[in-house]
Chains A and B, each alone.
Chain A
Amino acid sequence: MTRYLGLYFTRIGFSVATALIGVFFALPLVWFIFAPFNPRAELGLSIPEPFSLTNFEAVFQNGFAMRGLWNSLVQSVGGVILVGAGATLASYALSRSPIPGKSVITYILLLFSSVVSGSAAMVPIFLIINGIGLIDTQIAVILVFAGGLLPTAMFILRDFIDSIPKSYEESAMVAGASPVQAFFDVALPVIRPGIVVVVVWAFVSIWGSFLIPFILLRSSEKMPASVAIYSFYSEAGTPIVTLLAAYSLLYSLPVVILYLLVSWKFGFRFFGGIKA
């Protein structure tokens, strides 16, 4: 009997503990949702009273911040297109061709990429971009992001493509398709779930990055949102919480929309092919 009672209390204790942890993690999110609508927002948590959109009005009137969102979109979409297309073609080739030592190639690239996208390489990257005269261009940001993300994207996708039987393309070719036709008709649709995962991951990575655009760009009208967000800090470095909260919410919306879109359209699955 006492044993069951003990078990009972253990269960209750466990549930309470997990609930507390949950609340702890939920608090910032709750702030994140409420604060933008609170004209007197502070760092503390409070229900907006009155519920107002004045914060958003102020943000929308800030041209630098608005252009930042647009720039983020340009840089992220540009980077995602490069990473998506590059990684698909490269990993398909790596998976299907009999190049000796192809795993080694991928691993070496992967190793370097963690250096490239890390802050250690910022000085050489700056010098290279400066050398080819691309400083203060969106292209530079897109290229550096693509270079940094491609190896990991290739690594993920190659693993995915390796798990797809070659017989799909082989049967297409036997049926009369050229390698290019076989790729677009048969391989690409089957690989698509993997590409979607890579694309979402690349988008989120670029969308949230601060350092690379901060270093490579100079003119304020090219800065992405991750940099522009600093325009809501006062000269002294204290955040203007009301505006910051509203902007943060806007800043996070594209990512949320992307996730919703993808899970509605494709469903987030990785391995296991396509279910009809």
Chain B
Amino acid sequence: MASIRFKSITKKFGEFVAVEDLNLEMNDGEFVCLLGPSGCGKTTTLRMIAGLETPTSGQLLIGDREVTFLHPKDRKISMVFQDYALYPHMNLADNIAYPLKVRGEAEAKRHARAREVADVLKIGHLMERMPSQISGGQQQRTSLARALVYPSEVYLFDEPLSNLDAKLRLEARGFLNHLQRDMGMTAVYVTHDQAEAMALATRVAVMDAGKVVQYAPPMEVYRRPATTFVANFVGSPPMNLLPVEAMIADGALHLKADRVSVAPLPVSRAVAAALNGNSKLTLGVRPEHLSIARGGEANAITGQLFANENMGPEKLVTLERDDAARFTARIFTDDVIALESTVTLGFSSEHIHLFDPAGARLPMDGEPA
């Protein structure tokens, strides 16, 4: 196992900058998720760790070895590919044992080891099959087995669950989490699914357009998203965001928007600085922090009922405002909610997030900046 360090790494494809000035440190034994929308440079970042892409500039270290230009075979890594990349002409035993074959292990020995790993992954009985003769879930586990069959310093995953159906995906996710607890492996895991990142990561690097916008433990990313982009990407459904007029009066922050009432808030230093000659902020509230207003809430927002979705243990109530912006509340009840055509949602002040006009989070006082 080893740490990974990116030092000012930039990767360009021609003129196109896929990854820009990346500085990341991943500790030994950490499970880092690269999270972001499609095309933001996650796979490129992962492939640079694997040695399948060469950085245009910067330095990459695994442990204390510089590996920037090292061939993949010399990096002591394992990788699970999104399309699994199982060799179609080899049966599962040979597929899983291939890394051992390359290392010159004798056939009996490498097949025994492959069988061991396959048994853990519950595909031991399929060793004679060809990849085309097993299901998608089994293919996924085969590629995982091939990555685990020999000890590596770093394990790389490129959206390994994205080709599975929802139920198998949850199962595989749980297994990966278990594996991480068991092995304490250093892993870099690429996904565009925020739930996967939340579930697996010790730290999440949220990426947008080739840059890391936040690098923090999952709960930190959830509780204190660094930008409106992160707020909008993490959480399901994502955070509700609303542009508001802000002003400071009587030592308190007053936020105003049509059909919204917000109790005056304490003025943090960050807010004071952001409001210097400016009056626009973005207010954010997570759906799970909204409830149907019964009257008397400190803060409330009103609009026309847009959708009332029944999810079983929870309900998603969405209201639409005059400017077509929508606000969704996630309400944990298994009662049916009956609603009028006009809905008011309430929330408490401690659940308010504020962002400056450029989208950066404005920390409350006492909160780490």
A-B complex is real? yes
Which of B78, B89, B98, B150 makes the CB contact (< 8 A) with A172? B98
A170 to chain B: which residues have CB within 8 Å? Answer: 50, 52, 72, 79, 81, 85
**What CA separation (Å) do A276 and B51 show in the bound complex?**
32
- Which of A33-41, A103-111, A174-182, A214-222 is found at the contact surface with chain B? A174-182
Q: Give the interface size bracket for B toward A.
A: 20 to 34
The answer to whether residues A171 and B89 also contact, given A176-B73, A176-B99, A275-B132 and a CB cut-off of 8 A, is no
Asked whether any CB of chain A lies closer than 8 Å to the CB of B65, the reply is: no
Asked whether any CB of chain B lies closer than 8 Å to the CB of A186, the reply is: yes
A167 to chain B: which residues have CB within 8 Å? Answer: 81-83, 85
B103–A176 CB distance below 8 A: yes
Tell me how far the C-beta of A42 lies from the nearest C-beta in chain B, rounded to whole angstroms.
52
The answer to whether residues A171 and B130 also contact, given A176-B99, A186-B87, A274-B88 and a CB cut-off of 8 A, is no
**What CA separation (Å) do A10 and B200 show in the bound complex?**
68
A175–B98 CB distance below 8 A: yes
Interface size on A, residues (CB 8 A): 21
**What CA separation (Å) do A113 and B22 show in the bound complex?**
48
- Residue of chain A at shortest CB distance from B99: A175
B71 to chain A: which residues have CB within 8 Å? Answer: 173, 178
Asked whether any CB of chain B lies closer than 8 Å to the CB of A168, the reply is: yes
Q: B89-115 CB contact bits vs A (8 Å, 1 = yes)? A: 101000000110111000000000000
A174–B52 CB distance below 8 A: yes
Task: Give the interface SS of chain A, mostly helix, strand, loop or mixed.
Answer: helix
Asked whether any CB of chain B lies closer than 8 Å to the CB of A86, the reply is: no
B89–A175 CB distance below 8 A: no
Chain B residues packing against A (C-beta within 8 Å): 50-52, 71-73, 75, 77-79, 81-83, 85, 87-89, 91, 98-99, 101-103, 130, 132-133, 143, 146, 150, 156
Chain A residues packing against B (C-beta within 8 Å): 165, 167-168, 170-178, 181, 185-186, 189-190, 273-276
Q: List 24 A-B contacts (CB under 8 A).
A: A165-B83, A167-B83, A167-B85, A170-B50, A170-B81, A171-B81, A171-B146, A172-B98, A173-B51, A173-B52, A173-B72, A174-B50, A174-B75, A174-B79, A174-B156, A175-B73, A175-B78, A176-B73, A176-B102, A190-B88, A274-B88, A276-B88, A276-B89, A276-B130
